[in-house]
Chain A
Amino acid sequence: MKFDDYIYDLSSPGRTGVDLPDPDVPETPIPEEFLRDDLPLPELSLPQVTRHYLRLSQKNYAVDKGFYPLGSCTMKYNPKVNEWAARLPGFANVHPLQDPHTVQGAMSLMYELQAMIGEIAGFDAVSLQPAAGAHGEFTGVLIMRAAQLARGETQRHKILVPDSAHGTNPASTSMAGFTAVQIPSDKDGNVDIEALKAALDDEVIGIMITNPNTLGLFESHIVEVCNLVHEAGGLVYGDGANLNAIMGIVRPGDLGVDVMHFNLHKTFSTPHGGGGPGSGPVGVTAELAPFLPGPIVDMTEEGDEYVWRTPEKSIGRIKSFYGNFGVMVRAYTYIKMHGAEGLRQVSEIAVLNANYMQARLLQMGDYPIPYGHRFCKHETVAQGKIPGAEGVHTLDIAKRLIDYDFHPPTIYFPLIVSEALMIEPTETEDKETIDAFLDALDKIADEARENPELLHEAPHNAPVRRLDEVRAARHPILVRLPAPAT
């Protein structure tokens, strides 16, 4: 069998994986007109299925395998007890529409999680319904819209988005029907205050701000930014993707942020699943609480029972049921094991690790760091501009890192740094690993100068060589099914 057999190539007529019991009730004929002619699914036995997926898994890089410093994604260790918890039958085998009396345990977990993450980030109310960060952003922007409409501010239609923002910020803005207005950054990587002032008028719904921002820097004028926006009648949205840098250090709500999403799959250690599921709860001030999507979990006045409640002026439901509950269980477990002091330590060490990398990279001198004159927070953004190796690009460096058995950092983001290498070590790495990664970057810089071809053709020891992405996009093949039997 070839290593990369396609699943349909393993199929043979008549094989079955799973046997099911015969009907224990009288059968009811199914009217012919409804029936499909063929069901072109593969026919496999379970040993084949097991081997197929195990082999595929071995062609994947992952946090459990090695260092994964993918900037902005907080690829920290995913605790195994979280997985255990989410699989408890009392969580995994519970139907969302059961009578609330029969799911008080699950509701209490959600209630406590709402309260704990609200406390961590300084918000009065939280909805756990959004499925991911971008979904939380969209929810938040709709909340800002609803709040502005409730204030009678119907003329407002613009949302200010710094040029360093993640692509989901402007995309969420336009999905909500608004215009994204880009605000430049200043030479220190902060929002340019003068540009902000010039952009603020009575057409502005608010600003979306990421803090620490995607340059890995704390917005040192954050209080002034919030004040200016509020004075102009706007609201402040906080992209909480980078909360891992500031737990127990500062609360966005205290700084003037009105609404923020959390990424439970980043900050609170829930696994990224190869791209998801995530969970993107939204926290808000008391003023915005009535607009949250519902239902959220509340407690009766007597304090003896958890109940579902949809806020009075809710923007509406943003997802079926209550959100990605299985992800919430993991985040809950993580927070309960850390407590206030543990979470602060998480952020301190995440920031220590990032600054250690930044300091050593600056010392190495091969990878310029445009904002290296400041301490970073959870990540640092360097450039793949190795002196003396002008033909070598960030992509080549990233691919060469694969040969050293590391996952490359985020590349070409944020857009305002050319040839960006966005490196986020997280707190769960040991110093030896971080040093080995830095040593690899050091060696790669030498290779880039001495033997650039080595980089252009990298990776050399991955399961496949560089893939032809242009071809994939020009003639998209998204599905491959065997030709129908004749």
Chain B
Amino acid sequence: MRYIPLTDDDRRAMMEAIGIEDIDELFADVPAEFRYPDLQLPAPLTEMEVMRELDMMAAENANLREFASFLGAGAYNHFVPAIVDTIISRGEFYTAYTPYQPEISQGHLQAAFEYQSMVAALTGMEAVNASHYDGSTAVAEAAIMAVNIQRHKRRTIVVSPTLHPQYREVLRTYVQGMDMKVIGDETHDNDFHALIDLTDDDTALVIVQNPDFLGQLHTPQEMQDLADAVHAKGALLAVATDPIALGILKPPGEYGADIVTAEGQVLGNSLSFGGPYLGIFAFRMKHVRKSSGRLVGETVDADGNRGYVLTLSTREQHIRREKATSNICSNQALNALAAAAYLAAMGKHGLRKVAELSWHKAHYAAQQIHQIDGYEVVMDKPFFKEFVVKCPRPVAEINRYLLEEYGIIGGYDLSRDYPHLGDAMLLCVTEMNTREEIDDLVIALGEAQSPHIHLNLEVSL
């Protein structure tokens, strides 16, 4: 009976204890004219039937176990060791809720504390929260936090045009009622000097991404110079980053970032068509009381043994209500657990290797593609695992060819977000892409540029 254990006898006994004869009596205070609507929903299915239906629905999607993919742009196909799913499938973890009762939540609390610690190690920061919703809302929360740190005296956020377009969109959605300004991405000038020029005594925060949305890397020295310039003007610096890249690259904590955010999906979380993901949020300890989101802290119990609790909750909505630093309540705890399990399993050596493999394969792909007639890798800076390719025809057409003829999911079409780049795609290569896949991609791209293909394609579609 669909997860309801009560028997008819139970029901009768319970109604008797309540003093009613019919369950309807419990709903007498619901306005009669609206009571018991006739809901138009599909007829119920048994578990066997629903599994069959879901199997079919899932099979209608091209999944990356079967298709080679070079798509990134904020969600990445990285390897997830089997142990991660084993750990997050423990009922003790995934069927619990927020650890309001620390004595019976030590497992989750310790795992969350270890997550905070490992992410601090990775980002080079002093403090990390238990999670935000995803990489985009982490950026928006960083902006709000910065304005709070500046006691609302500074209310402008300067964003780099190569911060993920969706992050910039979410940031603008968040602050639309808050009397804050978001500037910096009106042009596509990605020069840090332009951002520094825009920074003035109303600037609360400058946000850049490194590696940026187009894959480019700024050197630690450039980043440090940016941080120094921003700080000299009294503003703060937030850096959105790629946790996988930090397996080899100098972390933002070492070049002056005040807040570090990231999309943590790459750490052991499946692509899952865009969510649930993980908003990584790290910051300097001196700003902890202005930070948002749950924090797990170390303490001791009545016997003096080490234990963990949710802490500094006077910043949060359930205590501070309208004066809270954020409204966040449920977060992405299980995704953070996946990230912790991933970092523990991969460890120092595994993560470094993932980063190195991504680097080498991406660079091999870029070199090969650059040699194809009609294509050009346009990167004026070093890159990590993503790079921009100028294409001889619209990306949508090329991608259709790759998919139809080679079963390859091509790169992200940049024409909407960065029209000045012309027909350009953002390609992503990770440790999951084999040399064979890359070589196929190169062949397919070569073929796709021929005008004859266009005709064929029209027929086949």
Contact = CB atoms under 8 A, between A and B. Distances in A.
Interface in A324-338: 324-327, 329, 333, 335-338
3 closest cross-chain pairs (CB), A and B:
A90-B58, A321-B274, A105-B60
B126 interface: yes
Given A79-B3, A92-B63, A355-B18, 7 more contacts: A26-B360, A56-B110, A116-B42, A138-B174, A168-B317, A275-B333, A351-B26
B132 to A, nearest CB: 9
A473 interface: yes
B44 A102 contact: no
B188 interface: no
A250 B30 contact: yes
Contacts of A407: 101, 104
B118 A42 contact: yes
Which of B128, B167, B248 counts the most chain A CB atoms within 10 A?
B248
A255 B173 contact: no
Interface string B98-113: 1111111111101111
Interface stretch (B65-73, B201-209, B371-379): B65-73
Contacts of B51: 81, 84-85
B64 interface: yes
A60 B329 CA distance: 20
A410 B101 CA distance: 10
A480 B113 contact: yes
A340 B435 CA distance: 52
A133 interface: yes
Contacts of B317: 134, 167-168, 170-171
Interface stretch (A46-54, A196-204, A281-289, A439-447): A46-54
Contact of B111 (A56, A279, A317): A56
Contacts of B128: 478-479
Interface in B14-39: 14-15, 17-19, 23, 25-31, 34-39
Nearest to B362: A28
A145 B5 CA distance: 44
B103 A42 contact: no
B97 A46 contact: no
Given A52-B344, A84-B51, A177-B177, A274 B17 contact: no
B17 A16 contact: no
Given A57-B90, A171-B322, A277-B334, A469 B309 contact: yes
A277 B87 contact: no
Contacts of B61: 90-91, 94, 98, 102-106
Contacts, number: 694
Interface stretch (B74-82, B191-199, B226-234, B452-460): B74-82
A92 B91 contact: no
Contact of B288 (A39, A52, A476): A476
Contacts of A478: 113, 116, 120, 127-128, 285, 288, 295-298, 311
Interface string B315-359: 011111111101111111111010001011111111111101101
A78 interface: yes
A307 B82 CA distance: 34
Given A6-B114, A7-B344, A57-B93, A35 B330 contact: no
A75 interface: yes
Given A75-B97, A272-B96, A60 B173 contact: no
A303 to B, nearest CB: 16
B104 A463 contact: yes
Interface residues of A, number: 206
Given A61-B96, A131-B276, A170-B322, A44 B347 contact: yes
A233 interface: no
B247 to A, nearest CB: 7
Nearest to A176: B177
A429 interface: yes
A337 B275 contact: no
B72 to A, nearest CB: 9
B330 to A, nearest CB: 4
Contact of B103 (A33, A171, A399, A477): A399
B131 interface: yes
6 contacts: A7-B344, A42-B347, A56-B107, A249-B30, A249-B35, A250-B35
Given A339-B41, A431-B14, A23 B330 contact: no
A418 interface: no
Contacts of A338: 2, 44
Contacts of A19: 350
B331 A275 contact: yes
A59 to B, nearest CB: 4
A323 B134 CA distance: 10
B107 A320 contact: no
Nearest to B48: A81
Nearest to A377: B26
A466 B318 CA distance: 21
B11 A476 contact: no
Contact of B438 (A25, A34, A278): A25
B251 interface: yes
Given A78-B95, A167-B317, A464-B301, A175 B144 contact: yes
Nearest to A173: B322
A132 B330 contact: yes
Contacts of A76: 3
Which of B26, B69, B100, B176 counts the most chain A CB atoms within 10 A?
B26
B221 A33 contact: yes
Contact of B75 (A73, A97, A410): A97
